[in-house]
Structure 1
Amino acid sequence: MQNERSPSESEVVISRTRNIDGRPVFDTHLTPTEDTRTKVIETKLPAVIPIVFLPGIMGTNLKNKKTGDAVWRPPNMSLNLADILGVVAALATWGIRGPKQRQQILKAEDLTVDNGGSIDVGESGLAKETARKRGWGSVLRTSYNPVMGLLEARTSRIVANRTLQGWWSTEGLRPPGDYGEETGQPPLTEPELMKAARYDFDVWCAGYNWLQSNRKSAEDVRLYIENTVLRHYREQKPPVPADKVILVTHSMGGLVARALTNLVGYEKVLGVVHGVLPATGAPAIYHHMRAGYEGPEQLILGSNAGEVTAVVANSAGALELCPTFDHRSGQPWLLLQDSKGLASTDEDGMPCNYPRIGNPYDEIYKNPSWYGLVPAQNTKFLDLSETEGGTKKNTRARFNFLIDEVETFHRDISSQYHNESFVHYGADGSKSMHSWQDIVWRGNTMPFSISQFTENDNGNGSFRLGEFRDGPKLTRVNGSGDGTVPTSSGEAPHGSGVKASFRQGPMGNGACNIEHKGYDHQSSYNDSRARWATLYGIIRIAQLADWAP
């Protein structure tokens, strides 16, 4: 007697794809009449948890509000011809623009989000038109589209034929500690994954104007979620339940998310996954404003203090990346040292380590001294517009007012996180991931007066006067992080009640960190550890959803 067919042999599961609107469809084919197997469509009552991705600073494409012309489209870094030509064009465009032109072009009030960038749907299964409707064209493609495609693909293939599928049945069930989780969180369980699989997860992207304050960007993101994302599901026929969203953030996008949930008070966020969040700021922004960016990026982002200051000093969003009053619990991070690396002292014999009393706003950011964020000699870069008579008034006062607003933002957002927050960050102490954990001016300050310093700052992080060749210059010292955000800032949420914190890199624990280097800040979401932590957070957050029929 022949054995009966097993359930898997007696059924054919019809594969599911997406139509142009992103809705599930099933691709069927006629089979021979002798094929009597049951044809199964694995469907479910529609309910969606939208995932909204928030990019980092400079990661959103911007265009002019009036003309619609593209203003900021950072070049995608890949080896295809179009991207290579894009890099060449960006270098040709920005390489010849000095401080004045940069300041004229990159004004927050003149710009808005540009969704016309190139798109890579990757393994998402979406049509490009669908991805563009969801905002994928508003961001730097090579940094963000791949992870958005992976999130779309993985969350649509959790369960099939009533069993866990592929990645979820193996990698997805590993202990979080293998990926550097620090708080002792348990692995995902099969019931948790089955519950999450009751929902569809549609990945959207919310680009924002990174030049404006993160509080203002949070208001814009709220409107985008309400009027574009959730409205999309309300207007389906019949309407599709989609009550709240999950936010996945990169870098500055985490500040926008924290402002959205804790300052704006938006309640339609189920939870947040933060990647490489500068929770208490990043001293690297000081370095860039005093010496320009490093490496190839400087040709586009600014090669000296003037080019960077002209833009950043007028951008509330960028200035909000400066170290906060509670960065490293208020310890000094700006150090003035002699040529031997010993602390310089002032006229009262006090070490010149700042901030001394936990107030970087007055001690560093507003301070016009040679070591301040915008020293007296750089005041001219604060406003390079043409004025009648050739003089400008209150330039410094306007900048100081902006710093006051930055301080207010920092204090309002301090230690404030959504109740369901999951964090992952880089922890690599190698030279390749130097993150300016401390800003050190090292050299002989004795022959210099303040006035002499103003004449001899080369805008690239060093001073020199005549025969004195050992004037102070910005000096690299050991520090860990991801090349931009220091570990001390990335790990700060751990002590503020977040649900999970993943320390990733050679300074983290777990099998996936052993003998593996850390990841670069901008491309962190192209790392498998960051992606694992993100998917883990999404499934854990999804347990709170209660609108599936």
Structure 2
Amino acid sequence: MQFPEHGDPYNELYVNSQWYGLQPPDKQLDPAGIAKKRLDKAGNHKTVAGNYREAMLTVVTRQSQLKNQYHGKTYVAYGEGGLDFRSPPSSTATEASDKGKPGIEKGAPTKDLLTWGNAIWTGDVPSDVQPPELQAAKLLHDSGKGEIRVLLEQRKLSVTFTVQKTNTLPDVNAKTDWSQVATRTGIIRGDGTVPAWSADAQVRGLKPDVPGDPAKGVQMAFVQGGYEHMTSYAHPWTHWATLYSVVQMVNDI
């Protein structure tokens, strides 16, 4: 099974209370009963779960309105792994070990910047089980730490699912087939937090291999590599991209 199946993450995942959905039970949504007291006091007869669904719909609707909407003079920079996943031209300078030799500032390798592109769960499911039967399973246990056990009631059989937890790969190089890696493990190159295919959304229309409608307003994109998300603005490559972008904006003014 793969979700969302029909491009509707709101109904298929976020407000789905089935065992494979993402809507938490009331006791997790409101463990101290604070939300219920507030809703009861308001007298609008809303339930905790109903209030959650409304809030999620507001978020999803707002996200849809923001999609591809950028200021008309937007410049972006982001990391999509390390430089080692690319096949460099023969004339490209490498990191210098001796003073006086041409080189580039050091960046982290791709293996240190891997992140999650998909959440993949695996379990000991009999080969003849079809998705409808699996979707109808009854939740027996959720560890809250990446392990779920469900009951296939017709078979009186329990199945345990475990999520892929470790974002490490034994070998990463310029020949790595990232689409295959993402399919098998859910892991993709990125900046340790944001996967490359999410960050790429802001360069639609600028970067030829990124599908989708153009990201209107984005003037230039610095597609970089070698730095981690949280400390990205500590890296000299981001410094240069930011300085260049500010100069362009000031020049336009």
**Matches of 1:444 and 1:431 in 2, distance apart?**
29
- Give the match's secondary structure for 1:419: strand
Q: Percent identity?
A: 31
Higher RCO (C-alpha 8 Å, min separation 6):
2
Specify which of 219, 230, 234 is matched with residue 499 of structure 1: 219
Aligned to 2:57: 404
TM-score by length of 1: 0.30
Q: Structure 1 stretches of 5 or more lacking a match? A: 1-351, 506-517
**Matches of 2:241 and 2:7 in 1, distance apart?**
33
Report if the CA contact (8 A) 2:137-2:150 is conserved. Answer: no
The CA deviation at 1:369 is 1.7
Equivalent AA in structure 2 for residue 405 of structure 1: T
The CA deviation at 1:470 is 7.0
Aligned to 2:66: 413
The CA deviation at 1:543 is 0.7
Specify which of 45, 48, 52 is matched with residue 395 of structure 1: 48
**Matches of 2:220 and 2:246 in 1, distance apart?**
12
CA shift digits 1:174-218 (9 cap, x unpaired)? xxxxxxxxxxxxxxxxxxxxxxxxxxxxxxxxxxxxxxxxxxxxx
- Flag as ranges the 4+ runs of structure 1 deviating above 3 A: 386-389, 445-450
Flag the structure with higher strand content. Answer: 2
- 1:461 pairs with 2:146: yes
Aligned to 2:251: 543
The CA deviation at 1:431 is 4.0
The CA deviation at 1:465 is 7.3
- 1:357 pairs with 2:6: yes
Aligned to 1:311: none
The CA deviation at 1:382 is 0.8
Aligned to 2:78: 425
The CA deviation at 1:432 is 2.7
Report if the CA contact (8 A) 1:422-1:537 is conserved. Answer: yes
**Matches of 1:369 and 1:465 in 2, distance apart?**
11
- Give the match's secondary structure for 2:5: coil
**Matches of 1:504 and 1:405 in 2, distance apart?**
34
Aligned to 1:379: 26
**Matches of 1:465 and 1:357 in 2, distance apart?**
24
- Give the match's secondary structure for 1:534: helix
The CA deviation at 1:464 is 4.3
**Matches of 1:414 and 1:431 in 2, distance apart?**
30
> Whose Rg is larger?
1
**Matches of 2:125 and 2:47 in 1, distance apart?**
30
- Counterparts of 1:247-326 in structure 2, within 5 Å, are none
Q: Structure 2 stretches of 5 or more lacking a match? A: 41-45, 86-109, 152-156, 168-184, 205-214
Aligned to 2:177: none
**Matches of 1:374 and 1:436 in 2, distance apart?**
21
The structure-2 alpha-carbon separation of the partners of 1:412 and 1:503, relative to structure 1 and needing over 3 Å to count, comes to same
- Give the match's secondary structure for 1:501: strand
**Matches of 1:536 and 1:427 in 2, distance apart?**
20
The CA deviation at 1:484 is 1.4
The structure-2 alpha-carbon separation of the partners of 1:433 and 1:470, relative to structure 1 and needing over 3 Å to count, comes to farther
- Counterparts of 1:6-405 in structure 2, within 5 Å, are 352-375=1-24, 378-386=25-33, 394-405=47-58
- Give the match's secondary structure for 2:189: coil
**Matches of 2:54 and 2:150 in 1, distance apart?**
34
Report if the CA contact (8 A) 1:427-1:503 is conserved. Answer: yes
CA shift digits 1:275-304 (9 cap, x unpaired)? xxxxxxxxxxxxxxxxxxxxxxxxxxxxxx
Count of residue pairs brought into register by the alignment: 175
- Give the match's secondary structure for 2:21: coil
The alignment's C-alpha RMSD in Å is 2.8
Aligned to 2:209: none
- 1:521 pairs with 2:229: yes
The CA deviation at 1:531 is 1.5
**Matches of 2:51 and 2:147 in 1, distance apart?**
27
Aligned to 2:117: 437
- Give the match's secondary structure for 1:435: strand
The CA deviation at 1:364 is 0.9
TM-score by length of 2: 0.61
Aligned to 2:189: 480
Equivalent AA in structure 2 for residue 540 of structure 1: Q
The CA deviation at 1:463 is 2.0
